[in-house]
Amino acid sequence: MTLLLKAGLVYTGDREVEGGWLLSRDGMIAEVGSGPAPRADEVVDEPNCVAMPGLVNAHDHMYQWATRGYVPDGTLFEWLRTLYPVWARIDADVLRVAARAAMARLLLSGCTLSTDHHYVFPHGRDGLLEALIDIARELGLRFHPCRGSMSLGESKGGLPPDSMVEKEDDILADTEATIKHFHDPEPGSMCRVVVAPCSPFSVTPELMRDSAALARKHDVRLHTHLAETLDEEKFCMEKFGMRPYELMEDLGWAGADVWYAHGIHLSDAEVDRVAETSTGIAHCPSSNMRLGAGACRVEELVRAGARVGLGVDGSASNEDANLAMEAHQAMLLARVRASSPRALDARTAWRLATRGGAACLGREDCGSLEVGKCADVACFRVDDLAHAGIQDLVAGLALAPPARAQTVIVNGRVVVREGRLLTGDEDEIAREIAATSARLAG
């Protein structure tokens, strides 16, 4: 099965090819060129679009789509304490509806590969991770589900209520079963499982250590939240006598198989350690600004050689799942933080949103439009009112309001065409999430 995509401009991640094209064969990129194009079973011609590598979402909590707009002005800990009891009511049906909305929005923003960090497993609710994996298959998104967990309840000094935490043996057993059942390590994989205890303030150090051992036994990746707020830093100093990064490195959580969400409050020495150990950081600018958490030291991390990707984070602290918006926000936030327009340029922002995220997720086969890589492509219209006439199209797409994706291809399959989702009914998804959110709010 071959698919030919032609575009006004093909931005491979390194090169910008005017009047370029890309040929996909069986889900992988077989040729990239310009001028006369080869024949193909299916042809998509987008003369008014910039085609670029599909965007990669390196941090998310899709269940949160059902709880958007809560605690509009709260800190992370205030926001969490209010939302935990609401999240305690979720089940596989809620998750299915929320994930369908979150993934639809991701695809429509040009995202082709996403992770999801799911750590809420209320007692007696089964089939949660399975629901997420089902919906990713249904909508055609390349997916890395993280089996998250919480084990440190309030009575033991943690943040979540006791009713929401699981037993550590159960967590480890279920995580191992999930890896065995769903993890596909092959190149071109559509599903890879990640081991992901939630945060230093919601699991024990023992679970962090055991989770790292389990992940390494099965050669899968590790993900958690780290250094998101100063409240977390205070918690770690009081409870463990260590700064968050120091604690995690001590527990075996540094290395090329680990990536953290946020990594905001890192010292100079910690920025260097993150880079030296090849640990990844998923920067989530919209969520960080919404919660007033702080601004990640993106330029320093990139300069030090760290792997940095972008994430939308859960939509309860973002109210959307638009990866192109995160590239836009990352660029602007870095410039505010540095008081300099040279802090983060547009092409670097797009690199974070593509190959930077792919590197966090361990996907050598994703993140750029090169022969032999996965045929994951996002095409953005540049002839609409918001973008028509803009100079330097690649920079313009990051400077201007994020464009809605016109065509999105995942694994050589067209899933968005003419700005509409082909694998789901957007209006129906909106109706379902409205009803589910209302029911959950009670």
Q: List residues binding Zn ion (CB under 5 A).
A: 261, 313
Please tell me the number of Cα atoms within 13 Å of 380 on its side-chain side: 29
Cα separation, 405 vs 173, whole angstroms? 40
Task: Give me the least distance between CB of 283 and Zn ion, in Å please.
Answer: 12
Task: Give me the least distance between CB of 314 and Zn ion, in Å please.
Answer: 5
Cβ neighbours for 144, distance < 8 A, ≥ 6 positions apart: 113, 114, 115, 116, 191, 192, 193, 194, 221, 361
Cα separation, 287 vs 204, whole angstroms? 25
Structure tokens at 100: 């369908």
Task: Give me the least distance between CB of 237 and Zn ion, in Å please.
Answer: 21
Coil vs helix vs strand at 286: helix
Task: Give me the least distance between CB of 312 and Zn ion, in Å please.
Answer: 10
Structure tokens at 403: 């464009």
> Where are the extended beta strands (E) located within 219-317?
221-226, 258-262, 280-283, 307-310
- Which residue, 22 or 261, is less far from Zn ion as judged by CB? 261
H or E, element range at 439: helix 426-441
Q: Which amino acid is at 230?
A: L
Task: Give me the least distance between CB of 197 and Zn ion, in Å please.
Answer: 13
- Which residue, 261 or 344, is less far from Zn ion as judged by CB? 261
Task: Give me the least distance between CB of 117 and Zn ion, in Å please.
Answer: 6
Q: Which of 219, 233, 207, 224 is nearest to 262 (CA)?
A: 224
H or E, element range at 436: helix 426-441
Radius of gyration of the CA atoms of the chain, in A: 21
DSSP assigned state of 22:
E
Cα separation, 312 vs 327, whole angstroms? 10
- Which residue, 261 or 325, is less far from Zn ion as judged by CB? 261
- Which residue, 248 or 421, is less far from Zn ion as judged by CB? 248
Structure tokens at 230: 């100063």
Q: Give phi and psi for 50, each to the nearest 5.
A: -100, 125
- Which residue, 46 or 313, is less far from Zn ion as judged by CB? 313
Structure tokens at 44: 């998509």
- Which residue, 51 or 261, is less far from Zn ion as judged by CB? 261
Coil vs helix vs strand at 405: strand
Helical ranges in 251-322 per DSSP H: 268-276, 285-290, 298-304
Task: Give me the least distance between CB of 244 and Zn ion, in Å please.
Answer: 14
- Which residue, 21 or 121, is less far from Zn ion as judged by CB? 121
- Which residue, 208 or 374, is less far from Zn ion as judged by CB? 208
- Which residue, 116 or 313, is less far from Zn ion as judged by CB? 313
Task: Give me the least distance between CB of 74 and Zn ion, in Å please.
Answer: 15
Task: Give me the least distance between CB of 64 and Zn ion, in Å please.
Answer: 9
